[in-house]
Amino acid sequence: MKVFATYNIKGGVGKTTAAVNLAYLAAEDGQRTLLWDLDPQAAATYMFRVRARVKGGGRALIKGTRSLDGAIKGTDFDRLDLLPGDFTYRNMDLLLDEAKKPVRRLTRLLEPLARDYDVVFLDCPPSVSLVSENVLHAADLILVPLIPATLSVRTLDQLTEFVAGFDGPRPEVLAFFSMVDRRKRLHREVAEQLPARRDDVAATAIPALAVIERMAEERAPVPVFAPRSPATRAYRDLWAEIQKLAPESDSLHPTG
Amino acid sequence: MPVTGGTVRDVDGRPREFVIAEPGGQPLGRLRAELAKTFTVSGAVRPARATRTWLDTFDWRLYKAGLTLQQVTTRGSSQLILFGPGGEQLIAAPSRGRRLRWPAQAEALPPGTVRDRLTPVIGNRALLPVVSVTSQATDLRLLNQDQKTVARLGVDALTVSPLPHHRPEVQPPPGTPPALDPLPTRLTVHEVRGYPAAARRARQVLTSAAGVSVSRQTALDAALAATGRHALDYTGKVDVKLRPAMPAREAVALLLLQQLDTLEANVDGVLHDVDTEYLHDLRIAVRRSRSALKLLGDVLPGDLTLRFAAEFRWLGDLTTPLRDLDVQLEGLPAMAAGLVAARPADLEPFRVYLGRRRGAARRTLNRELRSDRFAAVLGDWRKALTVPKAGRRPSRPRAADLAADRTRRAYSKVIRMGAAITDDSPAESLHTLRKRCKELRYVLEFFASLHDPAAQRAMVGDLKRLQDCLGEFQDCEVQQLEIQALAAAMLARQAAPAPTLLAMGEVAGQLGRRQQQARAEFAGRFTAFAGSAGRRRLAALTAPPAPKITAPRTAATKITAPKTTAARTRA
């Protein structure tokens, strides 16, 4: 089971849209896929038309009184399941702090899911917190959406440096430019130059397009309602780049 | 067919299928209207068309393991889907640029988890198409107020179709043309994970809908029934239900007829070299028939035993060279992996040579299997076993008496012969004991339907452990002799490079060590079989004591076991 996390300290950079579309594409590729919406705002949950509620709330999941397995909901799409967001996740930091080995709690909780899923996406709320630290420890690959700006590089460097200091297994980091507005010179320059200079920046950039904003209206991933749009193409290209870092396997998806 | 994913679970953990009994769209229209009272019903306007072909080995290894393998072909692209006992699915990545052709063995399948899961189940058997259907499938989605899918209803209209591209030997048996009438439309409720109540509700609607009933058959069983077949319609095992009071003559004829059926069922697979197990099963059927003639043939009328014993010996000898080469070739990878001094690649000329010899042996065998003599033997044998003899048929001995008497005799022979074996006994003594053990095993199998199943299992279990040890001993002996003979033949043909001969020598050395090991284990295995527990088991099987049966004719009872080298090799 591969764990991918979409993470950035900042909000509104395209984390959730990336997690939703990439998870959809992973499932479309035949991978048994789970998306855990860790954001109390539960935007990913809303996009899949699932109620943003987990029985017992975040406390039950983190304390282990309720298994993740029992909280999972099927989406409308083959092989793609969702662990919904819940407003009580806003207190997750406190709950994690009470756990043994608090930075590895999510890793431990995800372990039993390895039998059922090939890929897990963690959609992380924007913050520097115990939740995000857990996510970084649990992930095999951290996907970092960056708005093309000079300071983006600094954000990426800070994250890479932070991850390099981990004891034990360290995740890979792959940044990609998001919300790229080709009309802006700075966006064009940064999005073109940086991937050529750095291995940890994907060649694919996600453009700023209205069709991506329409996801909340359509309540579906972009490839579902706009399969031929440039946004779909961009997410497919990005997924292909990610696949090269983490090759897929055959799928096993239980129906019983 | 809707290929459901991780989002979908079947009601109660197993697919719950319904069928629409009456043809036409009326019940489906009514059903849709009924479902629309609870859900928004959404789905493709036009059904997706696909060809679904079920695959299994000739002896139904997948079916027996609770697995179902389908090749689903849609618009020219095809994928293999393996369904597990719990309804879980494994989907093989489509084979790129290479069309799957049947029959196919595991190594011909696309690499991945499907192949990994199938390989230990099918072993060296080939997968064959067993039945094929065209499917017009519609996946109806049942939505809640948020327009979220909370359950799915698969609607699948199936029509049996001719089997896809394959060789002639996998055609259905003559006389059973596929019925091209549509099968009853199948409805399957799939639960979406986390929404069990919706699936329950959908199932309630189906249960109470007019013209819809719970399916009593799986789609595979229904499709097979339409072609006049049923699952597990072949077994290489003894599968005859005897009654204790039935005349022994009738029981023996039934046993022999089933062996004849098994023999005939495997001929095409041998002729077309589908996999090596066809020949193995054919040989077992021949050997069981020979043993039955030898051990039970005295109850058969006239000179049947005398006449056919020689013909079955001919049949057995006919198949030996090819079987020996199959055994050598199948064991070669393990032998190559166990080489220490030589390299596995050194054995390659040996493998090529074996392959060439195998080709020649196949051609010889096929010629005989297509001969008039072969056809006449089988035809005459069936006629002899089925044509009722004139006059009153004897009601005695009864099958149960014959079973008890012959089991006891065969057991006593094994005990007597085994007890006489010492550390100094020649290999030939162990080989003879092995043959007596096989005879005892066959007698136990023949009369299994008359025995208490637990006592039978225990007896066969002990005997099998002894047979395994003797089999290992004898196989190693024969293979060493064969390697020596093959090395000489290769040298004579200048087909044996020095590294190959050295590697063959090392393989012979491995076999020698294995043979010594088997010999060392013999005494323990025999004691376990022949001890007081074994005697108690025999008593349980043969009780109540049966009177000794005097053979009505003596000539037929004396059939000497063949003493050729060929006959010493394993089936």
- One-letter-per-residue 3-state SS of B499-519: HHHHHHHHHHHHHHHHHHHHH
* Distances from the Cα of B542 to the Cα of B286, B342, B450, B531, angstroms: 26, 53, 10, 17
Residue B394: predicted pLDDT: 64
Instruction: Report the distance separating Cα B335 and Cα B344, nearest Å.
Output: 8
Nearest CB to B7: which of A51, A77, A250?
A77
Residue A175: predicted pLDDT: 93
* Distances from the Cα of A29 to the Cα of B71, B454, B545, angstroms: 19, 50, 68
Residues B319-378: pLDDT tens digits?
999 999 999 899 889 888 888 888 888 889 889 999 999 999 999 999 999 999 999 999
Better-scored residue on pLDDT, B13 or B128: B128
Residue A207: predicted pLDDT: 94
CB contact under 8 A, B9 and A77: no
Closest Cα partner for B382 from B262, B294, B464, B295?
A: B262
Per-domain residue ranges for chain B? Answer: 8-173+184-226, 248-548
Architecture of domain B8-173+184-226: Beta Barrel (2.40)
B86 interfacial to chain A (CB closer than 8 Å): yes
Judge whether residue B567 has pLDDT over 50.
Answer: no
> Nearest chain B Cα to A218, which residue?
B147
Mean pLDDT of B2-21: 49
Mean pLDDT of A153-173: 87
User: Could you give the count of Cα atoms lying within 13 Å of A109 in the half-sphere of its Cβ?
Assistant: 32
Look at chain B and count its residues.
571
Query: What crossing angle do the helices spanning B498-530 and B453-492 adopt, rounded to 10°?
Result: 160
Closest Cα partner for B500 from B328, B254, B336?
A: B336
> Which chain A positions have a beta carbon within 8 Å of B146's beta carbon?
49, 51
Mean pLDDT of B280-304: 92
Mean pLDDT of B532-542: 83
How many angstroms away from the CA of A166 is the closest CA of chain B? 33
Judge whether residue A164 has pLDDT over 90.
Answer: no
Identify the band that residue B569 occupies on the pLDDT scale cut at 50, 70 and 90: very low
Residue B387: predicted pLDDT: 67
Q: Which residue has the tokens 């999941």?
A: A61
Task: Decide if B525 contacts B434 (C-beta within 8 A).
Answer: no
- Mean pLDDT of the residues in chain B: 84
Nearest CB to B192: which of A74, A79, A253?
A74
Ranges A220-224, B304-308, B458-462, B498-502, most confident? A220-224
Residues A170-212: pLDDT tens digits?
899 999 999 999 889 888 888 888 888 888 999 999 999 999 9
Q: Which residue has the tokens 């409720």?
A: B189
Mean pLDDT of B81-90: 81
> Nearest chain A Cα to B11, which residue?
A256
Judge whether residue B301 has pLDDT over 50.
Answer: yes
Judge whether residue B24 has pLDDT over 50.
Answer: yes
Better-scored residue on pLDDT, B489 or B11: B489
Mean pLDDT of B516-528: 90
Per-domain residue ranges for chain A? Answer: 2-245
**DSSP secondary structure code for residue B102 in this structure:** B
> Which chain A positions have a beta carbon within 8 Å of B5's beta carbon?
27, 32, 77-80, 253, 255
Instruction: Report the distance separating Cα A32 and Cα A120, nearest Å.
Output: 9
Counting Cβ atoms within 10 Å, is residue B217 exposed (0-12), middle (13-18) or buried (19+)? middle
How many angstroms away from the CA of B116 is the closest CA of chain A? 11
Judge whether residue B21 has pLDDT over 80.
Answer: no
Cross-sheet strand order for the sheet of A141-146: A73-74, A80-83, A33-37, A119-123, A2-6, A141-146, A172-180, A201-207
Identify the band that residue B22 occupies on the pLDDT scale cut at 50, 70 and 90: low
Mean pLDDT of B72-86: 85
Q: What element of type H or E holds B311?
A: helix B304-337
CB contact under 8 A, A48 and B148: yes
Residues B96-121: pLDDT tens digits?
566 788 999 999 998 888 999 999 99
Task: Decide if B213 contacts B18 (C-beta within 8 A).
Answer: yes
**DSSP secondary structure code for residue A3 in this structure:** E
* Distances from the Cα of B260 to the Cα of A47, B12, B225, B365, angstroms: 65, 44, 25, 18
Instruction: Name the percent of chain A lying above pLDDT 70.
Output: 96
Residues with Cβ within 8 Å of B425's Cβ and at least 6 positions away in sequence, in order, are: none
CB contact under 8 A, A250 and B9: no
B113 interfacial to chain A (CB closer than 8 Å): yes
The residue of B7, B119, B146, B192 whose CB has the most chain A CBs within 10 angstroms, and thus the best one to mutate to test that interface, is B7
Distance of CA A254 to the CA centre of its chain: 23
How many angstroms away from the CA of A4 is the closest CA of chain B? 18
Nearest CB to B91: which of A49, A250, A254?
A250
Residues with Cβ within 8 Å of A131's Cβ and at least 6 positions away in sequence, in order, are: A38, A89, A92, A93, A96, A124, A125
Mean pLDDT of A45-50: 96
> Nearest chain A Cα to B111, which residue?
A250
How many angstroms away from the CA of A46 is the closest CA of chain B? 10
CB contact under 8 A, B7 and A256: no
Counting Cβ atoms within 10 Å, is residue B47 exposed (0-12), middle (13-18) or buried (19+)? middle
Both tokens assigned to A68: 């993740």
Instruction: Report the distance separating Cα B540 and Cα B407, nearest Å.
Output: 11
Residue B14: predicted pLDDT: 45
CB contact under 8 A, B89 and A255: yes
How many angstroms away from the CA of B216 is the closest CA of chain A? 19
**DSSP secondary structure code for residue B246 in this structure:** S
**DSSP secondary structure code for residue B36 in this structure:** T
Q: Which CATH class is domain A2-245?
A: alpha beta
> Nearest chain B Cα to A77, which residue?
B7
Residues with Cβ within 8 Å of A11's Cβ and at least 6 positions away in sequence, in order, are: A125, A126
Nearest CB to B190: which of A32, A34, A255?
A255
Q: Which residue has the tokens 């599968």?
A: B239
How many angstroms away from the CA of A48 is the closest CA of chain B? 8
Residue B391: predicted pLDDT: 53
Strand pairing of A33-37 and A73-74? unpaired
How many angstroms away from the CA of A138 is the closest CA of chain B? 22
Residue B412: predicted pLDDT: 93
Residues with Cβ within 8 Å of A181's Cβ and at least 6 positions away in sequence, in order, are: A187, A207, A208
Per the rule left: phi > 0, alpha: psi between -120 and 50, beta: everything else, B391 is left
Instruction: Report the distance separating Cα A93 and Cα B403, nearest Å.
Output: 76
CB contact under 8 A, B148 and A253: no
Residue A98: predicted pLDDT: 80
**DSSP secondary structure code for residue B133 in this structure:** E
Nearest CB to B4: which of A50, A117, A255?
A255
Q: Which CATH class is domain B248-548?
A: mainly alpha
Mean pLDDT of B539-551: 64
Nearest CB to B7: which of A49, A81, A251?
A81
Residues of A with CB under 8 A from a CB of B: 27, 30, 32-34, 48-51, 71-81, 116-117, 219, 249-256
Better-scored residue on pLDDT, A51 or A151: A51
How many angstroms away from the CA of A133 is the closest CA of chain B? 29
Judge whether residue B388 has pLDDT over 90.
Answer: no
Residue B338: predicted pLDDT: 84
Nearest CB to B5: which of A72, A78, A249?
A78
Both tokens assigned to B482: 């064969």
Judge whether residue A99 has pLDDT over 50.
Answer: yes
- The residue ranges of DSSP E strands in B173-238, in sequence order, are 185-192, 212-214
Instruction: Report the distance separating Cα B389 and Cα B387, nearest Å.
Output: 6
Instruction: Report the distance separating Cα B281 and Cα B265, nearest Å.
Output: 9
Nearest CB to B88: which of A74, A249, A254?
A254
Mean pLDDT of B146-151: 94
Instruction: Report the distance separating Cα B5 and Cα B300, nearest Å.
Output: 60
Q: For chains A and B, what is the number of CB pairs under 8 angstroms?
A: 101
Residue B495: predicted pLDDT: 78
Residue B557: predicted pLDDT: 35
> Nearest chain B Cα to A116, which residue?
B6
B114 interfacial to chain A (CB closer than 8 Å): yes
Counting Cβ atoms within 10 Å, is residue B221 exposed (0-12), middle (13-18) or buried (19+)? middle
Residue B534: predicted pLDDT: 81
Instruction: Name the percent of chain B lying above pLDDT 90.
Output: 51
Instruction: Report the distance separating Cα A178 and Cα A194, nearest Å.
Output: 13
B206 interfacial to chain A (CB closer than 8 Å): no
B91 interfacial to chain A (CB closer than 8 Å): yes
Does a cis peptide bond (omega within 30 degrees of 0) precede residue B103? yes
> Which chain B positions have a beta carbon within 8 Å of A76's beta carbon?
7, 141, 148-149
Strand pairing of B89-91 and B128-143? unpaired
Task: Decide if A76 contacts A50 (C-beta within 8 A).
Answer: no
Judge whether residue A35 has pLDDT over 90.
Answer: yes
User: Which range among A16-25, B249-258, B488-497, B546-555 shows the weakest confidence by mean pLDDT?
Assistant: B546-555
Distance of CA B179 to the CA centre of its chain: 26
CB contact under 8 A, A49 and B89: no
> Which chain B positions have a beta carbon within 8 Å of A221's beta carbon?
none
SS3 for B70?
Answer: strand
Closest Cα partner for B304 from B556, B28, B37?
A: B556
Judge whether residue B565 has pLDDT over 50.
Answer: no
Nearest CB to B6: which of A48, A50, A80?
A80
Residue B95: predicted pLDDT: 58
